[in-house]
Amino acid sequence: MTGFLARRVLGAVVTLFAISVIVYVVFYVTPGNVAQITCGPRCSPAQVQQVAEQLHLNDPLYARYWDFLQGLVAGQDYSTGTAVQHCSAPCLGLSYQSDQQVTALILAKLPVSLSLVFGAMVLWLILGVGTGVLSAWRRGRLTERLLTGVTLAGVATPVFVIGLVLMIVVCGQLQLLPFPQYVAFTDDPEQWAWNLLLPWLSLALIEAAAFARLTRASMLETLAEDHIRTFRAYGVGERSVIGRHALRGALAPVIALNANNFGSAVGGAVLTETLFGLPGIGQELVHAVKVVDLPVVVGMVLVIGFFVVVANAVADVLYAVADRRVVLA
C-alpha cells in the first residue's frame, strides 16, 4: 500500500504539471489583446503598452511559465503599479482585473463549491446506488420498469429545469424552505444545510439518474457470475447475496464514475451555482473567462484538475476495499 500511494502521489504531481503546461499554453497563446481588454476600451495605445509591460505580457511564454512555477514553489513579488505585493507559495499569480491574489480568491470561493458538491454527492450516491440495486433486484417486474423510466427522465432533464421547479414548488407555493442564500457552515451549520438543500437536490437528482443506470448494469453483470450462483446454491439469503457480495463486486465502476463526477463538479456545477446565486468556483471561472482574466482561469483550472487527480487516486484505493479481487499495482 505504501508503494502504491507513493506511485499515485508521483503520478499526480506529473499529471498536474502536464495540466499546467497545457492550460498555460492554451490560454496565453489564444488570440486577442489581453492588455487592451484588461485596461479597458478607452485606454490609449500608450496606456495599453504600459499595462502589457506591467503584466509581463511582452515576455516570452517560457519565461512567464517559469515565473509561474517559481511562484508555486517559492512565492513571488508582484508590482501593482503603486506598490509591491508579495504572494506566498503556492502562488497562482494576481488577478488582472482586481490585483487580488488568485490563491486567496480561490480559497474564498472553494468552501461554497465543496459544500455544494459534498452534500450533493451523498444524496446522488444514496439515491443512485439504491435505485440501481433495487432495479436489478426486481428485474423484469413493474418496479424495474418504473425506476428505469424515472432514471431516463432524470438523465434527459436539465439541471436548471429541476432547480426552477423545486424553487417554484418548495419555496414559492409550499413555502417549506427559504429561497437559497449561502450561509457559511462556521456561521450557522443549520442554516447552511437548509439553504443548500435545494441546490443539493437539484444537482443530485441529475447525477443520481446516471448512477442508477450504471449500478443496475453492473449489478446485473455481477449477479450472473459463477460465485453468486454458488452462494445461492448453498442457500445464502437473497438479501445477503445482494448486499454483501453482488453489490461489492459491482461498485468498481460506480467508484470510478463518482471520482470523475466529484472532481469535475467542483468547478463544473456552473448552472447550479448560477441558478441559486451561490458564489462558487464555477461561477467565478465563467466570469474570469468572459473578462479574459487569465491568471484566475489558469489557477482555477489547476485547482479543478487537482481535485480530479486526488479523487481518482482515492478511487483506486477504494477499489481494493470494495472488491478484494482488485490488486494494487
Please give, one letter per residue, the 3-state secondary structure of 23-59. Answer: HHHHHHHCCCCHHHHHHCCCCCHHHHHHHHHHCCCCC
Query: In this structure, which amino acid lies at residue 177?
Result: L
Q: What torsion do the CA atoms of 117, 123, 127, 133 make, to the nearest 10 degrees?
A: 80
In a 13 Å sphere around the CA of 83, the CA atoms on its Cβ side amount to: 5
d(CA 73, CA 76): 9
Extract long-range pairs of 149-155: CB within 8 Å, 24+ residues apart.
Answer: 150/209, 151/209, 151/212, 151/213, 152/209, 153/209, 154/205, 154/206, 154/208, 154/209, 154/212, 155/206, 155/209, 155/210, 155/213
Q: Is the peptide bond before 90 cis (omega within 30 degrees of 0)?
A: yes
| Terminal CA-CA length for the chain | 9
d(CA 118, CA 109): 15
d(CA 320, CA 206): 28
Q: pLDDT value at position 119?
A: 92
- Asked whether the whole model's pTM tops 0.85, one would answer no
Q: Are 76 and 67 in contact (CB under 8 A)?
A: yes
Q: pLDDT by residue for the chain (329 residues), tens digit each? A: 677 777 877 888 888 888 888 888 887 776 566 777 677 777 778 887 887 777 777 788 888 888 888 888 888 887 666 677 788 888 888 888 888 889 999 999 999 999 999 999 999 999 888 888 888 888 778 877 888 787 877 777 787 888 888 888 888 888 888 788 888 888 889 999 998 999 998 888 888 888 888 888 888 888 888 877 888 787 877 778 777 777 777 787 888 888 878 877 876 678 888 888 888 888 888 888 888 888 888 888 888 888 888 888 777 777 766 655 555 55
